[in-house]
Structure 1
Amino acid sequence: MSQGTLLQKIGQLFGVGVVAGVLVAALALPAVGGLGITARNIATGFLNMPSELETPPPPQRSTIYDQNGDVIAEIYDQNRELVKLDDMAPVMQDAIIAIEDNRFYEHGGLDVPGTFRAALRTAGGDTQGGSSLTQQYVKNVLVESATTQAEQEEARETTLSRKIRELRYAIALEQKMSKDEILEGYLNIAYFGDGAYGAQSAAQHFFGVDADELEIQQAAMLAGLVRYPYLYNPSVNPDNAKKRRDVVLDAMVQNDAITKKEAEEAKGKDLNLDLSNPSNGCMPSDQPFFCDYVVQEIEKSKQFGENETERARWLRTAGLEIHTTLDGDMQEAAQEAVDKWVPRKNQSRKVAAEVLVEPGTGEIRAMAQSRNYGPDENNRGETSINFTTGIDRGGSTGFQVGSTFKPITLAAALDQGKGFSTSFGGGGSTTVTGQRNCDGGRLPPWDVSNASESSGGNYNMITGTQQSANTFFAQLQADVGLCETIEMAQKLGLERGDGTSFDNENTQANNSFTLGSEEVAIIDLVSAYATFASGGTYCEPQAITSIEDQQAGETIDVENECERVIDKDVADGVTYLLSNTFDGGTTDGLEIGRPAAAKTGTTDGNAAASFSGFTPNLAGSVWVGDPRGPQAHPLRGVTLGGRSYGVVYGATIPGPIWEETMSEAVKGLPEESLPKAPSKFGGSGGSGSRSNASPANSEGGVPNVVGQEQDAAVRELEEAGFEVSVASNRIQSDEPRGSVAAVNPDPGSTLPEGATVNVFLSSGGGGNGGD
């Protein structure tokens, strides 16, 4: 009988615990023999040590999925995917046992011969390991479960006390867990180098296969890595890796796991690495800014943990399966559109940002911007800031969005019972006085003008919205009340991008609130438009639908947070008004082939431009500007995407981005009609812009009086049931001097009875400008 077999038998006869105590004594006596401590005393003390070891699942990677189950990103501290022992190739199990603990299935947690050899050599001054797989598993568990730096250091220290503690835990663990359970735990927790933890991740990283697909030579190479992962790393030291692999193959032969012939065949094969790294974090993702938003949602929401540190650790270690609202096709359409019109590395450093949201749920379908995701803002075309969201979700402090804010004033006016025929005059410019903030403070007089001198005359809600007349909206806001308009914005979920309210006592909103002078997050703006599309139900923007926690064995469902904030008639009224912008208004020419409603926006001095619009089942908002500061770097004299622009308006770049995105995005959605214009506001009961391409001279529309003399034109318009306002200033036109050069809205536009039609007379000469 060999010495090793004899020692193992002794352990079985007298109890592993007693033998372990003697072995501990043998290891310890060289250091403490002078103190007179006996082997028996040490053995007794060993058996009295704490033995209960918690074995929580080791850290593993979390995965973020889009709506269709495609991977957006993987987030982890350690690249690990847990699998069952049955999902690991038998040769992988055989290889690790052969090289690390060839009597694994025979001992009770302590390899007696190996430990005796280690004891004798340690006594001679040559420190040896002799650890069983169970002991190694214990060590890894202690390291991975450490939550403080001190615990980490204690678990890794090269001291006798650590070895004794691990040995006591190992013996107790063998009484609680089966051998297969211990082997499964070890193969899932061991580090194989190159950032790969566990056999599954190692197989995927080094060979591009799952652990159950490993061949003999592959399993042998992986098993050889765990002793010294860097020394035998095949991507750094291939010769060392191959030699170590062959050592493992010989050990497998000695352990009767494979035949000598199989080993020789395996040795004759090259390493044949297929190195691949899972994308850790949002930077390598194709949807990095949405990924970042999801991460922010988890880390900032108290639903997922008591504090941000705890939530961040949970995200990176719990092996979560995070299911999101992102639609891959819509995201692709949005990204292509923003990149086309505002290339990522454009010389002028402008950026386009876009968000798509589903009305009635708040679910984010796309989130794109024309930037690469990266930490260095000095690199042109790179940023880690999400320009679509506010500072509370890792974004910016918001941007001015110009006239896309005007629908808020429309909603406030309709909410007060004002009708579509509400009208104001004043020509191309006017002065508004008497406005007060929410504290009752009187604001100074406000001089406001339209985009061009030709846009004077009287406007009602329909024509004022179509032409985006600043003078009309300034007077409408004054009539409704600035504070009431602010309150409507807050109902619709809007606040400043920096998280403060519009009526904050230190930063009171000013006269030009209706013109979009406040800096807001694009995601909040699109959510407001989605509220109109849903018939008055506001929903918090939502990126996550559910999270499967693999470690806890539970699924967290994330509910949509929605509530009705305005009456359906008010929402439908705003929708009707915005649908008319496609009929000769500022959004004309940006049709998407199905019913839609939209509004352009251009900030003062063309600093930035925006566009927001929706169908009944999808809303989208686009912002274009310079994140360094739009006022200092306006959209004037810029070249983007190979095109030169003297001035950029909301319909110049944001509009086409929205049109191209929405045209693709809605293809998979059912076509739905817009709601009818509420009769209570003076609507005719019809829906606006049914196909975004109403024919001219349609029955009941604005008569075509272009070219007629003034009196004849006014008479025909009045007979058709419209109020008429003749502009005092004349415009250049090919029509005879003094005749009608143009009407606003255009001929054929459908208006409620009593609506105002603006008539412009010709000065002759030809040519015209616009907003």
Structure 2
Amino acid sequence: MGITARNVATGFLNMPSELETPPPPQRSVIYDVEGGVIAEIYDRNRELVKVDDVAPVMRDAIISTEDSRFYEHGGLDISGTFRAALRTVSGSTQGGSSLTQQYVKNVLIEGTTSEAAQAEARETTLSRKVRELRYAVSLEEKMSKDEILEGYLNIAYFGDGAYGAESAAQHFFSKPASELNLGEAATLAGLVRYPELYNPRLNPEQATERRDVVLDRMVDTESITQEEADEFKGTELKLDISTQSNGCVPSKQPFFCDYVIQEIEKSDKFGETETERARWLRTAGLQIHTTLDPDMQAAGQKAVDKWVPRKNESRKVAAEVFLEPGTGQIRVMAQSRNYGPDESKIGETSINFATNADRGGSSGFQAGSTFKAITLAAALDQGMPYSTSFTSGSSTTITGQKNCNGAPLASWSLSNSSESKGATTHNMVSGTKASANTYFAHLQKRVGLCNVIKMAEKLGVTRADGQSYDNDNTQSNNSFTLGSEEVSPMSVANAYATFAARGVYCKPQAITKIDDRQSGKTIELDSDCERRISKETADGVNYLLQQTFNGGTASSLGIGRPVAGKTGTTDGSASAWFAGYTPNLAGAVFVGDPRGPNQHPLRNITLGGRYFGTVYGATIPGPIWRETMQGSIDKLDADNFSRSPSRFGSTSEPAPPAPEPSPAAAQPTSDQGGVPNVVGQQRDSAVAALEAAGYRVNVSETPIRSDQAQGTVAAVNPNPGTRLPEGAAVNVFLSNGGGGDTAAGFPGAGTPWTHGREPDVVPVMLPMF
């Protein structure tokens, strides 16, 4: 017997005794720029707390129930262990382990990743008990009792997905562990033995009985008095269940949440493999600080939901991104969809249409005339002046273009969106205002197609599917300047942010800092910026794009501050875009149909109770951009753009050609077709009639003298009966009721419509994939 005892003791002492006790897995939290919670991500719903942040009654309840002699023994409770050993041999696993041993068991389970290792940590054998005892004895030598208790309170499972006392208190009672009362503490302490059996949400009767047992045990250990126990015994549980939101689905900013997760899981700066990075995200208790501005995001989400409701029957979607020029920090990422995996449900998707495919996005959408800004940048970069002019009719044919591989491209025939006949001369200023397709086709040829493509790459505009612009599967490069490539709002917004930052490109940034609570380390993430084009080139583009708000395609979209931007509409209104910026905020908005814009164009649709014969860049994307900007500018300085560089010469437009007589204008009656005669009608009915005829309507805020009743339509420009292309803009002027000659106070009354300016449409486009 002595030899056996000696051998057992020697073997016990020779067993491995060093147990690593890293912080257990806990939930990670994603924060916006003001510290608000965007989402929580975890495998274990756990929040670590110090032992002093747990209510004393909770600590007493756990010790009284699980190990009443905890502060007396050295990790090995001889009587309890002997009972447990006998029960284990007889096939029972009930009771007996000291609190330290239970902590050891949980550490071993949490520290395993394979199913086999977890099964070994849970096996009901005497050898497992002995192994735990050896670790417990060693642990008591290097950790204080309070440290062991703290570890136990943070690692124990309390059921319903709640790990640790803090998460359990928040889940079952919606309060921190520091504020638990005696009845609540006893309820939670009773769960750790059999979390599912005593789950108070699922089994309230068993949980109540178990709570009362814990209260009796606390009386026995003199932690509380009988009177204190009686106050809670026999009473109903007063639960206040709070469901923790795990993942992006319950987040109010789900698509940005998904983008942040993609940024971590796809970047090798956070780990060697995607599997390692995903586990780090879900177990390390990260505090992820992001760039999203909650006020700007709210304005953006409100705008996309207003103009393109999430569950619209036409299944159209709006998506937008706004960034800060000079840092690349993402302030807004919104789209008119609920976040979810069931693509068959109207209004639900897990695809982030705002970004590229490698970050959870789509394969992109043709961007229309927003690409014309890239051609302007390439031309100015070569030193071409604003006066660079071309004369052409409403249509033209471009020959002799080559792609970046030197391969010749077929001749390219295109037209403006107007019905203009005869020659029209444009320079950069007037061509940008009018968004004249023929002008930009000639400008692209002079600059060199490959140079325009390279400028796009400088500005960070890449195909959303990751393919090269020059590949054997596309012949779309001819119409590159007209936006025939599939891109994401992120790419377009970032290019325009580069113009706003006077030529400094910054990689889009969603995360500024990550605090790793498990390791205690902090990862600071700085903006990744570099100069891509000269200040003069950027300032020149900024000047030209400001003109679109000054009598150009964006005239109705001002926000009361210096702004620059460009509308974009693809052939047949398959997709519509608007990209615009102030010196300190840039954004791009896309509207289209993810099922295939060419097959499901933006024509004859109803969105938000409004019917649209045809949607253009200024029809829906423009107002979304404007309303997002209006909800954001209070946080922005009212900065001005730099002056137009003198090296690009005069900013004048070329003299317009003599107008041709318009028979339609001579007899302005609604019977002739064209612009309906709405003079004398109320504002709303007039706007409805014009929109029903397929036109865009701009209502002047300045009333004019007229014999018409005050508030009714005094005049329209172009005149009633004028035949215009579908989607062209019609200006409406209301009467001040003062009487007199209408034309005397009517800007431009009687003048013919200037062809070639609206709508901003891209012809000859490839199918959408």
Whether the aligned pair in 1 keeps the contact of 2:62 and 2:189 (CA below 8 Å) is yes
Whether the aligned pair in 2 keeps the contact of 1:593 and 1:663 (CA below 8 Å) is no
- CA distance in 2 between counterparts of 1:375 and 1:297 reads 20
- Which range moved further: 451-460 or 325-334? 451-460
Structure 1 residues 451, 184: CA separation in 2 closer, same or farther (over 3 Å shift)? same
- CA distance in 2 between counterparts of 1:620 and 1:525 reads 8
- CA distance in 2 between counterparts of 1:610 and 1:153 reads 56
- CA distance in 2 between counterparts of 1:731 and 1:156 reads 92
| Identity fraction in percent | 67
- CA distance in 2 between counterparts of 1:446 and 1:729 reads 31
- State the Cα distance separating 1:524 from its structure 2 match: 0.8
- CA distance in 1 between counterparts of 2:446 and 2:269 reads 43
Q: Match of 1:231?
A: 197
Q: Match of 1:183?
A: 149
SS at match of 2:631: helix
Give the one of 630, 639, 642 matched to 2:609.
642
Structure 1 residues 583, 39: CA separation in 2 closer, same or farther (over 3 Å shift)? same
- State the Cα distance separating 1:303 from its structure 2 match: 1.2
After superposition, residues 116-265 of structure 1 pair within 5 angstroms as 116-122=82-88, 128-265=94-231
SS at match of 1:282: coil
- CA distance in 2 between counterparts of 1:125 and 1:389 reads 58
After superposition, residues 358-437 of structure 1 pair within 5 angstroms as 358-437=324-403
- CA distance in 2 between counterparts of 1:127 and 1:269 reads 31
After superposition, residues 504-523 of structure 1 pair within 5 angstroms as 504=471, 506-507=473-474, 509-523=476-490
- CA distance in 1 between counterparts of 2:718 and 2:45 reads 73
Note the residue ranges of structure 2 that are not aligned, 5 or more in a row: 669-674, 676-697, 699-716, 729-758, 760-769
Whether the aligned pair in 2 keeps the contact of 1:459 and 1:472 (CA below 8 Å) is yes
- CA distance in 1 between counterparts of 2:352 and 2:429 reads 35
- CA distance in 1 between counterparts of 2:260 and 2:171 reads 26
Q: Match of 2:512?
A: 545
- CA distance in 1 between counterparts of 2:221 and 2:526 reads 56
Whether the aligned pair in 2 keeps the contact of 1:730 and 1:763 (CA below 8 Å) is no
Q: Match of 2:77?
A: 111
SS at match of 1:651: coil
- State the Cα distance separating 1:302 from its structure 2 match: 1.2
**Which amino acid in the other structure matches residue 167 of structure 1?**
L
Structure 1 residues 144, 124: CA separation in 2 closer, same or farther (over 3 Å shift)? closer
- State the Cα distance separating 1:426 from its structure 2 match: 1.2
- CA distance in 1 between counterparts of 2:599 and 2:147 reads 65
**Which amino acid in the other structure matches residue 311 of structure 2?**
K
Structure 1 residues 196, 525: CA separation in 2 closer, same or farther (over 3 Å shift)? same
**Which amino acid in the other structure matches residue 502 of structure 1?**
Y
- State the Cα distance separating 1:240 from its structure 2 match: 0.5
1:54-85 CA distances to partner (integer Å, 9 max, x unpaired)?
Answer: 00100000111001001000000000000000
Give the one of 558, 561, 579 matched to 2:525.
558
- State the Cα distance separating 1:724 from its structure 2 match: 4.0
- CA distance in 2 between counterparts of 1:763 and 1:279 reads 58
Whether the aligned pair in 1 keeps the contact of 2:383 and 2:648 (CA below 8 Å) is yes
Whether the aligned pair in 2 keeps the contact of 1:246 and 1:267 (CA below 8 Å) is yes
Q: Does 1:270 align with 2:236?
A: yes
- State the Cα distance separating 1:122 from its structure 2 match: 4.8
Give the one of 396, 400, 404 matched to 1:438.
404
After superposition, residues 596-675 of structure 1 pair within 5 angstroms as 596-675=563-642
1:330-367 CA distances to partner (integer Å, 9 max, x unpaired)?
Answer: 00000000000000000010000011100010000010
Q: Match of 2:552?
A: 585
- Which range moved further: 543-552 or 115-124? 115-124
Whether the aligned pair in 2 keeps the contact of 1:351 and 1:369 (CA below 8 Å) is yes
- CA distance in 1 between counterparts of 2:293 and 2:442 reads 41
- State the Cα distance separating 1:46 from its structure 2 match: 1.6
Aligned CA RMSD, in angstroms, stands at 2.1
- State the Cα distance separating 1:501 from its structure 2 match: 2.1
1:389-442 CA distances to partner (integer Å, 9 max, x unpaired)?
Answer: 001111111111100111000000001111111111211100000000011111
- CA distance in 2 between counterparts of 1:500 and 1:462 reads 33
Q: Match of 2:314?
A: 348
TM-score by length of 1: 0.86
- CA distance in 2 between counterparts of 1:477 and 1:128 reads 81
Q: Match of 2:707?
A: none
Q: Match of 1:526?
A: 493
1:123-162 CA distances to partner (integer Å, 9 max, x unpaired)?
Answer: 5665544111111000100010102222112111222221
Structure 1 residues 683, 130: CA separation in 2 closer, same or farther (over 3 Å shift)? farther
- State the Cα distance separating 1:117 from its structure 2 match: 2.3
Whether the aligned pair in 1 keeps the contact of 2:87 and 2:94 (CA below 8 Å) is yes
**Which amino acid in the other structure matches residue 615 of structure 1?**
T
- CA distance in 2 between counterparts of 1:562 and 1:729 reads 54
- State the Cα distance separating 1:618 from its structure 2 match: 0.4
Whether the aligned pair in 1 keeps the contact of 2:289 and 2:511 (CA below 8 Å) is yes
Q: Match of 1:712?
A: none
- CA distance in 2 between counterparts of 1:267 and 1:161 reads 40
- CA distance in 1 between counterparts of 2:658 and 2:320 reads 40
Whether the aligned pair in 2 keeps the contact of 1:359 and 1:534 (CA below 8 Å) is yes
- CA distance in 1 between counterparts of 2:88 and 2:301 reads 64
SS at match of 2:556: coil
Give the one of 265, 274, 277 matched to 1:308.
274
Structure 1 residues 723, 274: CA separation in 2 closer, same or farther (over 3 Å shift)? same
SS at match of 1:431: strand
Q: Match of 2:56?
A: 90
After superposition, residues 8-157 of structure 1 pair within 5 angstroms as 38-122=4-88, 128-157=94-123
- Tell me the number of residue pairs that the alignment of Structure 1 and Structure 2 aligns: 680
- CA distance in 1 between counterparts of 2:615 and 2:388 reads 31
Whether the aligned pair in 2 keeps the contact of 1:730 and 1:762 (CA below 8 Å) is no
Q: Match of 1:573?
A: 540
Whether the aligned pair in 1 keeps the contact of 2:93 and 2:124 (CA below 8 Å) is no
Structure 1 residues 401, 165: CA separation in 2 closer, same or farther (over 3 Å shift)? same
- State the Cα distance separating 1:763 from its structure 2 match: 11
Q: Match of 1:11?
A: none
Structure 1 residues 408, 731: CA separation in 2 closer, same or farther (over 3 Å shift)? farther
- CA distance in 2 between counterparts of 1:102 and 1:198 reads 20
SS at match of 2:606: strand
Q: Match of 1:758?
A: none
**Which amino acid in the other structure matches residue 565 of structure 2?**
A
SS at match of 1:64: strand
1:446-489 CA distances to partner (integer Å, 9 max, x unpaired)?
Answer: 00101111386111111111111110011110111110000000
Q: Does 1:447 align with 2:413?
A: yes
Whether the aligned pair in 1 keeps the contact of 2:566 and 2:578 (CA below 8 Å) is yes
Whether the aligned pair in 2 keeps the contact of 1:437 and 1:508 (CA below 8 Å) is no
Give the one of 447, 454, 457 matched to 1:487.
454
Structure 1 residues 683, 257: CA separation in 2 closer, same or farther (over 3 Å shift)? farther
Whether the aligned pair in 2 keeps the contact of 1:437 and 1:509 (CA below 8 Å) is no
Whether the aligned pair in 2 keeps the contact of 1:448 and 1:471 (CA below 8 Å) is yes
- State the Cα distance separating 1:768 from its structure 2 match: 3.7
- CA distance in 1 between counterparts of 2:84 and 2:528 reads 63
- CA distance in 2 between counterparts of 1:238 and 1:296 reads 41
**Which amino acid in the other structure matches residue 489 of structure 2?**
I
1:193-232 CA distances to partner (integer Å, 9 max, x unpaired)?
Answer: 0110000000011111111111111100000000000100
- CA distance in 2 between counterparts of 1:227 and 1:569 reads 72
- CA distance in 2 between counterparts of 1:117 and 1:649 reads 80
- State the Cα distance separating 1:44 from its structure 2 match: 2.1
- State the Cα distance separating 1:262 from its structure 2 match: 0.4
Q: Does 1:471 align with 2:451?
A: no
Give the one of 283, 289, 302 matched to 2:255.
289
